[in-house]
């Protein structure tokens, strides 16, 4: 299929996990793709995989000035942008009494502030039939203990999807959100937990998923391809939950 033929796309956090798989599927669907990554190692790995098929940009998702640099690189490379998948983010968990201001501000910057100003910076180059997809989370809905900061950032993104959909639809820009549940990505390996604690956490989470397993990045990426394509041109301000039924318990 070529549902994204001749479309240009930017994926933030596109060097691993859901973002990386979405980049692969966007390419398979015919899109010209740019991705961002925060670490030199992940950026080089992506360049090695994609070669000249993808524009790979190293960028800090929480740096406001950096978002303008990314927007400039997209303008120079593509001239316009049809699809934005806001995927870059961090997940830090802990009881409320253990949170400090610096860690709180970092989560807000990467998960909310950076995405807001990236959309702002890209406004001049969005096409008149553009699609923005924000990657939120079922944590915005389920009240999981120790997820207070992560959940509030994802809740903010979900609200942003709804408000920007109303504000930007007149410019021909559709805004929607996906809210994945537990997905098998490197995210869970970045929580700073021991192998035993990580395994115990994974088992506990899996026990709460009605389908009995973690999701696969491929399953989320397919949903994003749909929302990015013209097949979803009548879907505006919506949230598609991809969680194996977890949030229905």
Res 193: pLDDT: 59
Domain ranges of the chain: 8-242
What integer pLDDT is reported at residue 116 of this predicted model? 98
**What pLDDT is attached to residue 191?**
54
Q: Report pLDDT for 211.
A: 86
What pLDDT does 189 receive? Answer: 52
- Of the listed 78, 85, 117, 150, which one is catalytic? 150
Q: What pLDDT was estimated at residue 208?
A: 80
Q: For residues 4-25, give the mean pLDDT.
A: 97
- pLDDT of amino acid 50: 97
Looking at domain 8-242, its CATH superfamily turns out to be NAD(P)-binding Rossmann-like Domain (3.40.50.720)
**136 to each of 100, 121, 199, 200, how far by Cα in Å?**
23, 20, 24, 24
pLDDT 10s digits, 30-60: 999 999 999 999 999 999 999 999 999 999 9
Of 178, 189, 239, 185, the C-alpha closest to 215 is: 185
Is the pLDDT assigned to residue 77 strictly greater than 80? yes
- The closest alpha carbon to 144, from 210, 90, 94, 196, belongs to 94
Region 18-37 average pLDDT: 97
Pick from 61, 6, 67, 16: nearest CA to 38: 61
Question: Does 19 have pLDDT greater than 90?
Answer: yes
Residue 243 pLDDT: 86
* Residue pLDDT, tens place only, 184-242: 876 545 555 567 766 777 787 887 888 878 889 999 999 999 999 999 999 999 999 99
Residue 244: the pLDDT is 84
CA 30 to CA 6: how far, in whole Å?
Answer: 6
pLDDT at residue 220 in the model:
96
pLDDT digits (tens, 9 = 90+) for 117-173: 999 999 999 999 999 999 999 999 998 899 999 999 999 999 999 999 999 999 999
How big is the chain by its Cα radius of gyration, in Å?
17
Annotated catalytic, 188? Answer: no
Question: Could you tell me the two tokens for 165?
Answer: 């959909």
Supply the pLDDT for residue 94.
Answer: 93
């Amino acid at each position: 299929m070529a549902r994204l033929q001749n479309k240009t796309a930017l994926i933030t956090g596109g060097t691993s996990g859901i973002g990386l798989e979405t980049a692969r599927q966007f390419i398979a669907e015919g899109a010209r793709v740019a991705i961002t990554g925060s670490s030199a190692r992940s950026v080089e790995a992506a360049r090695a995989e994609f070669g000249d098929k993808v524009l790979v940009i190293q960028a800090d998702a929480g740096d406001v000035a950096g978002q303008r640099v990314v927007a400039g690189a997209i303008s120079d490379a593509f001239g316009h942008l049809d699809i934005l998948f806001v995927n870059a983010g961090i997940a830090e968990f802990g009881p409320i009494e253990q949170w400090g201001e610096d860690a709180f501000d970092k989560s807000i910057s990467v998960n909310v502030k950076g995405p807001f100003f990236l959309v702002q910076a890209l406004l001049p180059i969005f096409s008149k039939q553009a699609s923005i997809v924000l990657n939120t989370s079922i944590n915005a809905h389920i009240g999981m203990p120790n997820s207070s900061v992560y959940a509030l950032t994802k809740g903010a993104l979900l609200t942003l999807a709804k408000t920007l959909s109303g504000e930007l639809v007149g410019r021909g820009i559709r805004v929607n959100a996906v809210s994945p549940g537990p997905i098998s990505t490197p995210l869970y390996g970045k929580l700073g937990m021991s192998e035993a604690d990580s395994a115990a956490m994974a088992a506990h989470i899996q026990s709460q998923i009605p389908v009995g397993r973690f999701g696969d990045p491929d399953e989320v990426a397919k949903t994003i391809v749909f929302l990015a394509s013209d097949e979803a041109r009548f879907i505006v301000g919506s949230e598609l939950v991809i969680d194996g039924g977890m949030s229905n318990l």
